[in-house]
Amino acid sequence: MTLRIALASLLLFALSGRVLSAEGDPQDVLQTVEGNPHTENTASLSEDVLDMEVGLGALQKIRGEWRFKDSERVSGSLQRNTWQVAAGFSSAEIFARLVSDIATWENSALLFSCEGRACGHGSQWANRVFGQRVLYGRDDLQRYRVFAIEGEQSYRLLLYSSARSSSRQYLHIDLIRLVEQASP
């Protein structure tokens, strides 16, 4: 079964016509998913953000408020995209391939990783963190990764996948191009 999933994942990316380069350009991640014939972009947003909170820990309820166990604040240009994955393919397959490729980049560092219930409540990720209620799915099928991409330009790359059912699979990516903040 594992070999079958691996072969399906390879075929999926071969059909998309794009694979991530070893050079570590975070824009390639967005283009790879966008160019995949088995994904449909359901929402996208580009905006400047100031002190956006990036979760580096699970979401948990602390004194009646939902908070990350750990986080960092970043400012810069945000590109936010949500894709629905076509029936017959899983968001987990696409997510796993992207994470595997990004992990090989010399200029990337994994800052946080969680899967399933260890991430917290899926409804909070969907609504509070990403503002995309379609992302709400089964807690045990969610995955989240945060990468720091360094180079001439620094980025934070957030990947999230969820599934409600076999026909309602979603992949979400936040790409934040960081700006240097002046010291107070």
User: Please, what is the angle between helix 2-16 and helix 91-103, to 10°?
Assistant: 80
Question: What pLDDT is recorded for position 88?
Answer: 81
Q: Which residues of the chain are under the pLDDT cut of 70?
A: 1-24, 181-184
Could you tell me the pTM of the whole model? 0.84
Closest CA to 132 of 165, 98, 83, 77: 83
- Distance, in Å, from the CA atom of 142 to the CA atom of 110, rounded to the nearest integer, reads 17
- Please report, rounded to a whole number, the percentage of residues in the chain having pLDDT higher than 90: 60
Q: What is the pLDDT of residue 82?
A: 96
Q: What is the per-residue pLDDT across 108-121, written as a single tens digit (0 to 9) for each?
A: 999 999 999 999 88
Per-residue pLDDT, 23: 59
DSSP alpha helices (H): ranges in the chain? 2-16, 26-34, 91-103, 122-124
pLDDT in tens, 142-161: 999 999 999 889 999 999 99
Q: Which residue has the tokens 């997510």?
A: 95
Quick one: pLDDT at residue 79? 96
Q: What is the DSSP letter of 129?
A: I
Helix (H, G, I), strand (E, B) or coil at 150: coil
Instruction: Select from 153, 171, 152, 181 the least CA-distant residue to 44.
Output: 171
Coarse DSSP helix, strand, coil percentages of the chain, rounded to the nearest 5 percent: 30, 40, 30
pLDDT, residue 67, reads 85
| Contact of 94 with 39, CB cutoff 8 Å | yes
